[in-house]
């Protein structure tokens, strides 16, 4: 059953679409309306849309997965695509079909509202929040609270530009808060034997041109002050953001202009005002009910064939809860067919807690898997081409949709990401060795960095240049990007590579590492040494 707010959103969008079709709205007026409602135009196609479904902190239940299977099958191309903000997109949806697709999504509590446009985008969070061995506490309830507090909030309806929040449970920062407008990293203070949960807050991060690492706003923001602080940051952004130049409108440019000290002062003054006038109710500290012994049962003694044991090594992690595991499903290109949506729903119901979480590396995770069920899950995934090895490894390549559908895309980054994943799995036999740990590849179809190429060990973004009189797709290679422990390194530019030669170039780069590494030097360390030595051409 549709809730009142989702129903109102759909009715409004339907009414405005009819006005647009009748010529009562021009293209720009209609564009602003549909974007705020998560409806995006498809490249060179009139009235053919992409729907971006907002999935706060990446959590979906089995009923929602089955509805998404139907959306993919009936209204789209039979495929859904997971994004680097944990959303799910459906491409090639006819405008006249959009209201019915939104109704079906709304009946299971899903919405596209404010997934695009100058609004607060999907609030991301660590996909292992609540079960991660390294986390300080479960950030899920705080991410959820902020996501729904800011959705449809009058404050967020006419922002100067898009705005992004991310919640990480530890300093590993697996959702890359350091490149978001607000990055919240969980920390715990212990005073007089009493533990207080809070966040180290960073502000003003962002990729695109030019990329910026977030600045530390405050070392410790209590959970009670989180909402008032986030609202104050958004208010300052709304007040000082550049509405005259879209290319200088992100919050990072305000901090560039006035400096972090002045920005911090504005935020804290605004926060005091909100708290004094009780305009932002505090969030109460939520107890972490999932804290059990931080031990695990090893997967080494689980019986199974060779392929199953390889999969255990690369796709399964033990939880902080004894005897339970999280299973990552490596999705080539971040794509799921309608049948695969249903398979995931069945596995969630039969072996997990009925839920999955999407990840910013365009995969999905089952949590709360009992050790005895790992073999069965592998079998179910294997029957559906979902047992691909190497989740979160170098062969788990991230790619945005690119020029296949995006109006800004220069190259077909989605296709290249799929091709490169398959190439690495087939040709690089040692990619799961320790030498390639913590190494990743991200590919964007243009300089806007939707696939987060700036912060990948190997980053690529699309461009074009004239070759023998013909415009030819190329990729700019970037090396050594990373985000962790409150630090950001943006990849350094190397060479430009013809699109068709990218897999070969990456293999040559890996071969060069094997021949030049020192002692036990990892690939990532070798890349960093190349950077510090002034770089080396790989062509």
State yes or no: pLDDT of 298 exceeds 70.
no
Q: Which of 207-211, 215-219, 298-302, 483-487 has the lowest mean pLDDT?
A: 298-302
Q: Taking a C-beta distance cutoff of 8 angstroms, is the pair 277, 234 a contact? A: no
The terminus-to-terminus CA distance of the chain in angstroms comes to: 57
| 130 against 484, higher pLDDT | 130
Query: Which pLDDT band, with edges at 50, 70 and 90, does 536 fall under?
Result: very low
User: pLDDT over 70 for what percent of the chain?
Assistant: 95
Report pLDDT digits (tens) over 39-81: 999 998 999 999 999 999 999 999 999 999 999 999 999 999 9
- Rounded to a whole number of angstroms, the CA Rg of the chain reads 23
Task: From 111, 36, 75, 86, select the one nearest 334 (Cα to Cα).
Answer: 86
Residue 294 has what pLDDT? 43
Report pLDDT digits (tens) over 400-458: 999 999 999 999 999 999 999 999 999 999 999 999 999 999 999 999 999 999 999 99
What average pLDDT does this structure show over 208-228?
Answer: 96
What average pLDDT does this structure show over 484-499?
Answer: 93
Sketch out the chain's domains with CATH numbers.
4-106 (3.90.480.20), 132-276 (3.30.413.10), 306-382 (3.30.70.3340), 398-532 (3.30.413.10)
* Alpha-carbon gap, residue 33 to 154, rounded angstroms: 15
CA dist 288 to 135, 138, 221, 292, Å?
11, 6, 18, 10
Report pLDDT digits (tens) over 243-263: 999 999 999 999 999 999 999
Helix/strand number for the chain, H first, E second: 14, 22
Query: Which pLDDT band, with edges at 50, 70 and 90, does 303 fall under?
Result: low
Q: What is the pTM of this model?
A: 0.95
Task: From 363, 317, 324, select the one nearest 340 (Cα to Cα).
Answer: 363
Residue 508 has what pLDDT? 97
* Alpha-carbon gap, residue 442 to 417, rounded angstroms: 8
Cβ-based neighbours of 354, under 8 Å, separated by 6 or more: 61, 62, 348
Task: From 173, 245, 253, select the one nearest 212 (Cα to Cα).
Answer: 253
Query: Which pLDDT band, with edges at 50, 70 and 90, does 394 fall under?
Result: very high
Q: Which of 62-71, 166-175, 273-282, 456-465 has the lowest mean pLDDT?
A: 273-282
State yes or no: pLDDT of 370 exceeds 80.
yes
State yes or no: pLDDT of 112 exceeds 80.
yes
What average pLDDT does this structure show over 120-130?
Answer: 98
């Amino acid at each position: 059953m549709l809730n009142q707010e989702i129903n109102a959103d759909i009715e409004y969008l339907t009414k405005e679409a009819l006005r647009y079709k009748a010529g009562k709205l021009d293209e720009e007026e209609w564009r602003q309306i549909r974007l705020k409602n998560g409806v995006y135009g498809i490249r060179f196609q009139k009235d053919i849309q992409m729907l971006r479904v907002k999935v706060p902190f990446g959590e979906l239940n089995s009923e929602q997965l089955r509805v998404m299977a139907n959306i993919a099958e009936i209204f789209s191309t039979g495929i859904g695509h997971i994004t680097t903000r944990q959303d799910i997109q459906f491409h090639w949806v006819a405008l006249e079909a959009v209201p019915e697709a939104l109704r079906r999504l709304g009946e299971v509590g899903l919405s596209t509202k404010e997934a695009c446009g100058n609004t607060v985008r999907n609030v991301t969070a660590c996909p292992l929040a609540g079960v991660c061995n390294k986390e300080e506490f479960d950030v899920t309830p705080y991410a959820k609270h902020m996501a729904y507090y800011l959705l449809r909030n009058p404050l967020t309806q006419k922002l100067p530009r898009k705005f992004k929040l991310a919640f990480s449970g530890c300093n590993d920062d697996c959702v890359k808060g350091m490149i978001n407008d607000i990055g919240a990293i969980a920390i715990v203070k212990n005073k007089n034997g009493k533990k207080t949960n809070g966040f180290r807050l960073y502000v003003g991060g962002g990729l695109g041109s030019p990329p910026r690492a977030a600045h530390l706003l405050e070392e410790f923001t209590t959970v009670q002050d989180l909402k008032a602080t986030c609202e104050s940051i958004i208010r300052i952004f709304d007040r000082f953001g550049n509405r005259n130049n879209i290319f200088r409108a992100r919050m990072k440019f305000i901090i560039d202009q006035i400096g972090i000290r002045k920005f911090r002062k504005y935020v804290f003054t605004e926060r005091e005002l909100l708290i004094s006038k009780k305009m932002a109710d505090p969030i109460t500290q939520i107890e972490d009910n999932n804290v059990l012994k931080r031990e695990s049962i090893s997967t080494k003694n689980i019986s199974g064939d060779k392929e199953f044991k390889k999969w255990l090594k690369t796709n399964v992690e033990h939880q902080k809860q004894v005897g339970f595991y999280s299973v990552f499903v490596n999705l080539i290109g971040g794509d799921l067919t309608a049948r695969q949506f249903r398979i995931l729903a069945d596995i969630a119901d039969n072996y997990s807690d009925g839920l999955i979480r999407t990840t910013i590396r365009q995969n999905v995770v089952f949590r709360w898997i009992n050790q005895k069920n790992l073999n069965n899950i592998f079998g179910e995934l294997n029957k559906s081409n979902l047992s691909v090895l190497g989740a979160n490894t170098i062969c788990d390549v991230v790619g945005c949709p690119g020029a296949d559908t995006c109006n800004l895309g220069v190259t077909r980054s989605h296709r290249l990401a799929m091709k490169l994943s398959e190439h690495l799995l087939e040709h690089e036999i040692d990619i799961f060795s320790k030498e390639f740990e913590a190494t990743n590849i991200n590919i964007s179809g243009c300089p806007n960095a939707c696939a987060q190429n700036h912060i990948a060990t190997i980053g690529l973004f699309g461009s074009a240049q004239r070759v023998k009189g013909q415009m030819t797709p190329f990729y700019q290679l970037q090396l050594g990007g990373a985000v962790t422990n409150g630090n950001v390194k943006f990849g350094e530019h190397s060479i430009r590579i013809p699109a068709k030669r990218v897999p070969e170039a990456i293999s040559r780069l890996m071969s060069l590492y094997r021949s030049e590494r020192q002692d036990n030097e990892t690939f990532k360390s070798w890349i960093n040494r190349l950077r510090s030595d002034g770089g080396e051409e790989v062509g």
